[in-house]
Amino acid sequence: MIGMESIRAAAVYRHAPGVEWPSVLEHSAPLYIQLSVPPLSSRLHPFATEGRRTGGVGRCSRSLSKLPPPFVRMNSLKRKRVEAPRIPTLEDVHPYTTWNICVRIYHKFHVERFAVGRTKLNMVLLDEKGKKMAAVIYDDEVDRFETLLVEGRVYYVWRMSAEPIMRNQESKFADSSFLCRFTTQTTISELTHVNEQLIPLYPPFMPFERVWPFAFDNDKYIEVIGMVIYVSSLGFVKDKFYKRNIPVRNIVLLDSSYNMMKIVLWDKYVTDNMIALERCADERAIVIATMLRAKPIDRELHTTDFSRVRFNPDIAAVRELRRRSIMSYPLHEFKGEWKTKDYVINKTGLLAYQDYVK
């Protein structure tokens, strides 16, 4: 008989070899086994009342026929939000570690031979926030990466190490005091169709009003953007070391805050842009000049061997500056004098530095 708290098993007989089954039933004594199981009352539905749990008569608070079985769990159909891990930027880099970073090759230098059988390739990297960091490749890795890395393109770099900057020249290119190094374990993958909203083409341009306070504190190179309002005639400066005449030309730029800045173009930046310089003042061309050296005493920015000068590039900053300049300053009819805090420009082409002009 099956009770509420125990189950009694039927007799179990041993089957001896060579003995027929009827004789076993007649002469073998039965063996009884008692199995204990938990009370059936413990398996009540979770919505049963306390009286039902203790064996009394009770009612469920909800109809059991309308509920799913207790072992079925109804998962929520709401889609869960999954956040991807954040990609590190150049601000997160610290020395003696390896990093996986998505960067743009902002500037790529020429391969340099600094010792017998030793080569080096310097670069400047740009991340999604517009921060610059110097990078270097040595020896065998130069042959591996030199043709793959193209200036202006975006790459995802794996296992790139970081170390402190040891040379003062490398600190002028970047915003960080650390240096990225491509090692034998470094691998790269080029990313195509990356627009300037994801990773900018240029670092943030410095407003003209902040150039001189910034230049007095450090000697880092400067990037500026402005509309050309004046171009000087072609001049030459004699170089005693190379015994040749270096062409030089001055231009004046106007930024979005309507401040002016004098840029001195040297050598190849004059000869390579001869046609553009002749007509950029009349066309109100927008110029982007990068890696300029500041001379606070003369209130001038000079091009270096690493500078880049672009005329009317198709980027968002140029389009915005052109829209504002067309609405505010009709410079196609230049009459009289243009006076500002630092310069006086008259129709005869005179450009002079002034302490203050009212």
Q: Per the confidence metrics, is the pTM higher than 0.95?
A: no
- The answer on pLDDT for 24 being more than 60 is no
Confidence at residue 297, expressed as pLDDT on a 0 to 100 scale: 87
- Asked if residues 350 and 336 have their Cβ atoms less than 8 Å apart, the reply is no
- In three-state secondary structure terms, 189 is strand
- The CA angle 244-247-248, to the nearest 5 degrees, is 135
Lowest mean pLDDT among 59-73, 295-309, 312-326: 59-73
- Asked if residues 167 and 210 have their Cβ atoms less than 8 Å apart, the reply is no
- The answer on pLDDT for 137 being more than 60 is yes
Compute the distance between CA of residue 251 and CA of residue 293 in angstroms, rounded to an integer. 15
Lowest mean pLDDT among 13-22, 151-160, 247-256, 320-329: 13-22
Q: What is the CA radius of gyration of the chain?
A: 41
Average pLDDT, the chain: 76
- The answer on pLDDT for 36 being more than 90 is no
Ramachandran class of 210: left when φ > 0, alpha when ψ lies in -120 to 50, beta otherwise: alpha
Q: Tell me the per-residue pLDDT of 161-220, one tens digit each, with 9 for 90 and over.
A: 988 888 777 788 888 888 899 999 999 999 998 888 889 999 999 999 999 999 888 888
Average pLDDT over residues 7-18: 44
Q: Write the secondary structure of 91-129 as one string of H (helix), E (strand) and C (coil).
A: HHCCCCCEEEEEEEEEEECCCEEEECCEEEEEEEEECCC
Q: CB burial class (10 A; 0-12, 13-18, 19+) of residue 8?
A: exposed
Confidence at residue 205, expressed as pLDDT on a 0 to 100 scale: 94
Q: Tell me the per-residue pLDDT of 78-113, one tens digit each, with 9 for 90 and over.
A: 666 666 667 777 778 878 888 888 999 999 999 999
